Amino acid sequence: MSLTTPAQRAADIAQERGTPEREERSWLRLTEIFFSIQGESSFAGMPCTFVRLSRCNLRCTWCDTTYSFNGGDRTEIDDIIDRLDAIGCKIVEITGGEPLLQRPVHTLMSRLCDLGYTVLIETSGSLDIAPIDERVHIIMDLKAPGSGEVDKNLFSNIAHLKPTDEVKFVLLNREDFDWAIATIEEHHLLEHAQIIFSPVHGELSGHELANWILESGKTIRLGLQIHKFLDVE
């Protein structure tokens, strides 16, 4: 019979509750590692290895990775790094789920930076980003009303963004677009980071969103999730 350690029990409880873990440990709950084309940031089009961690504290209406909400394999950080080394791509994106729910993700990211990797993290914007290693490129969502999670945005995160970081808005309709523009203006977001507007795939036309961006007169990048057009992960 296998024994469950206190750290494992604490992680199990946190998973059930959808809350950030407090215990430091040497492993992460891993959904998958895969090599593909980065699809929705300023790195779009670049080869990238993705580390998808398990668990998420949000339930966005348009989420396309619901399989990462629960479960996941307990994988040692050393083993994750070995797998990344074997793939050989020096751009790595940590994603989920919500990767910041697992405290050891900070150890993984810092170790990868030390090894010369370009490390990206994609996070929902609902958890504190202040502890993230300053060498990591942050891609932070702000959830629009159409996500069903607009009340979870942690706007205090804006102060911790670097000019090279990115704030991504996934937009379902014109209401979401207008909300995003108002949020950019209210929080002076263009002074803090790059801004990306991405349409919900299959719901909002990229052509229509492009026209709205042009009409706004703001310096906003259109993100089209090119991996979906290529039919890759």
pLDDT (0 to 100) of residue 23: 74
pLDDT (0 to 100) of residue 92: 99
pLDDT (0 to 100) of residue 24: 78
pLDDT (0 to 100) of residue 29: 97
Evaluate whether 132 touches 47 at the Cβ level (below 8 Å).
Answer: no
The answer on whether 39 is annotated among ligand-binding residues is yes
The answer on whether 45 is annotated among ligand-binding residues is no
Evaluate whether 120 touches 43 at the Cβ level (below 8 Å).
Answer: yes
pLDDT (0 to 100) of residue 1: 37
The answer on whether 102 is annotated among ligand-binding residues is no
The answer on whether 48 is annotated among ligand-binding residues is no
Strands of the 91-95 sheet, one edge to the other: 73-76, 27-37, 47-53, 91-95, 118-123, 137-141, 166-171, 194-199, 221-222
The answer on whether 56 is annotated among ligand-binding residues is yes
Residue carrying structure tokens 């993100």: 223
Each domain of the chain, given as residue ranges in start order, spans: 22-229
Whole-model pTM: value is 0.88
The answer on whether 63 is annotated among ligand-binding residues is yes
Query: Could you say which residues of the chain have pLDDT below 70?
Result: 1-18, 226-233
The answer on whether 37 is annotated among ligand-binding residues is yes
The answer on whether 95 is annotated among ligand-binding residues is yes
| CA distance linking residue 105 with residue 90, whole number of Å | 18
pLDDT (0 to 100) of residue 192: 96
According to CATH, the superfamily of the domain at 22-229 is: Aldolase class I (3.20.20.70)
pLDDT tens column, 150-168: 999 999 999 999 999 999 9
The answer on whether 60 is annotated among ligand-binding residues is yes
| CA distance linking residue 11 with residue 4, whole number of Å | 11
